[in-house]
Amino acid sequence: MPNIKRTAKLACCMAIVLGTVAMAGQQRGTPAGGEREDLDEIRKVSTLIGTNVMDRANTKVADVRDLVLSPEGDALYIVLGHGGVGGVGETYTAAPFDALKVRHVDGKWAVDIDRTAEDLKRAPTIQSENYRELTDPQWVDRAHQFFCPAAAPKDRPVEWVLLASKIRSAKLRTPRNEDLGKVEDLLLDRMHRVTFAIVGRGGVLGVGEHYIPVPWSKLGLTINQDNAAITASLDATKAQLEKAPLIKGDNYATLLAPGFADEVRRYFEPIGRGTTTGGTERGRR
């Protein structure tokens, strides 16, 4: 089973338009050309997943189980698990990202929702293994009405379900299918958009591993529509990746050093942009 704060409530669910990476810049005020906000903190997707979701009374009502992303790296939906005991017997639903208040304070995530545990029992449920309900316009309409009843029905079903958890476990390969390492984590900027993927290379069982930040726009992602598995690619050789700027330690704080993120972007700039596709055979060319 599968596992921001808006000042006006009416804006809790913004328009979600799924497209290709070439459309970056059309969502959440991303500047033309796809530039991201500079990182002011290290916001790991890996630590967001599993975070408790609290109601107005500061009572836990759910857990974050996954993020559904657009090809541009925008967080579209948060998959919530609620009920059950210790994750067993949980019920799953998906809320538009902007229907929750998501904050990163002092290195930790906090997620609030304006719904009680009893309310969530009436939320549209996810029954499928890989969240295929999010491709169904009727299911998305019901979720919008439940989580954002005061907002105009602008949420859209996704063409394919791009899960953060699947990207984080993806092998990274060249267009010739050569192994470049593994996607270890995704980093979000202050607008909660993916700005870098962290690629791990070398080491044994994570010991002695080198970490390389790769701009999100440079990744190619192919989604297997049957099981939501992700194949990640980068139009670079092993030699190019080995010479890329490295970050030290698994807290990735090197990325916060003045000018380092720009150094990374400049290094990868000659590398072609990636695209995200569905299907088992279509990928970035």
- Does some domain include residue 30? yes
- Does some domain include residue 114? yes
- Over residues 129-181, the pLDDT tens digits come to 889 999 999 999 999 999 999 887 777 899 989 999 999 989 999 988 899 99
Query: Which of these three, 147, 180, 195, is where a domain ends?
Result: 147
- Does some domain include residue 159? no
- Does some domain include residue 157? no
Q: Any residues with CB less than 8 A from the CB of 225 and at least 6 apart, and which?
A: 160, 278, 279, 280
Q: What is the pLDDT of residue 37?
A: 56
Based on the fold, state whether residues 191 and 261 are members of the same structural domain. Answer: yes
Based on the fold, state whether residues 140 and 188 are members of the same structural domain. Answer: no
SS3 content of the chain, % helix, strand, coil (to 5): 20, 30, 50
- Over residues 180-227, the pLDDT tens digits come to 999 999 999 999 999 999 999 875 555 557 899 999 999 999 988 777
Q: Which domain holds residue 230?
A: 164-277
Based on the fold, state whether residues 120 and 210 are members of the same structural domain. Answer: no
Whether the predicted pLDDT of 25 surpasses 90: no
Q: What is the pLDDT of residue 208?
A: 56
Query: Which of these three, 90, 119, 147, is where a domain ends?
Result: 147
Average pLDDT over residues 83-93: 83
Confidence of residue 284 (pLDDT cuts 50, 70, 90): very low
Based on the fold, state whether residues 107 and 188 are members of the same structural domain. Answer: no
C-alpha–C-alpha distance, residues 119 and 96, integer Å? 16
Average pLDDT over residues 262-271: 92
- Does some domain include residue 175? yes
Q: What is the pLDDT of residue 21?
A: 32
Average pLDDT over residues 78-106: 91
Q: Are 195 and 73 in contact (CB under 8 A)?
A: yes
CATH number at residue 54: 2.30.30.240
Query: Which of these three, 122, 147, 172, is where a domain ends?
Result: 147
**Per the structure block, which two tokens stand in for 39?**
């990182």
Q: How many domains does the chain have?
A: 2
- Over residues 32-83, the pLDDT tens digits come to 334 455 688 999 999 999 999 999 999 999 999 999 999 999 999 999 999 9
The strand ranges marked E within the chain are: 43-44, 52-54, 60-69, 75-82, 91-96, 100-105, 108-113, 162-163, 171-173, 179-188, 194-201, 210-215, 219-223, 230-234, 276-277
Based on the fold, state whether residues 143 and 25 are members of the same structural domain. Answer: yes
Q: Any residues with CB less than 8 A from the CB of 213 and at least 6 apart, and which?
A: 187, 196, 197, 198, 199, 245, 247, 252, 255, 261, 264
Q: What is the pLDDT of residue 176?
A: 87
Based on the fold, state whether residues 118 and 187 are members of the same structural domain. Answer: no
